[in-house]
Amino acid sequence: MKGIRVDNIMAAMNAGQRGAFKFWARGDNPPDHDRAPDGLNFVCPGCGDLGSLEFQGRRHGLGGGWTWNGDREAPTCTPSILHDSRTCGWHGYLTAGEFRSC
């Protein structure tokens, strides 16, 4: 499923646009795309609910568990993504802007 970068992730989720994604940054309201993002929100390819990743090194030198290749249009994040294991369980990869189930 091709990922689509959107400006409003909540609108994308409400519209059922699975695979939509948006970078987020702390203090980022309204969004400022010049800042280095702290993570990525996405509309889960499996269930259509909101998911979130936090990138490494963004929280006082700790941050979340994902790497990001710096590409804002076709991001690659590692390791794999597991959406809420209780309610959804979608598991896959975001590679070059493409969500792939595994």
Stretch that binds Zn ion, among 24-32, 58-66, 68-76, 80-88 (CB under 5 A): 80-88
4, 25, 74, 88: residue in contact with Zn ion (rule CB under 5 A): 88
Q: 7 burial class (0-12, 13-18, 19+ CB within 10 angstroms)?
A: exposed
Contact set for Zn ion, span 34-53 (CB under 5 A): 44, 46-47
Which of 75, 83, 94, 99 touches Zn ion by CB under 5 A?
A: 83
Which token pair is 94?
Answer: 């975001």
Binding Zn ion (rule: CB under 5 A), the pick from 21, 68, 90, 99 is 90
Q: Which candidate, 97, 68, 70, 101, places its Cα nearest to that of 83?
A: 101
- 22 is an interface residue for Zn ion by CB under 5 A: no
> How many Cα atoms sit within 13 Å of 90 on the Cβ side?
23
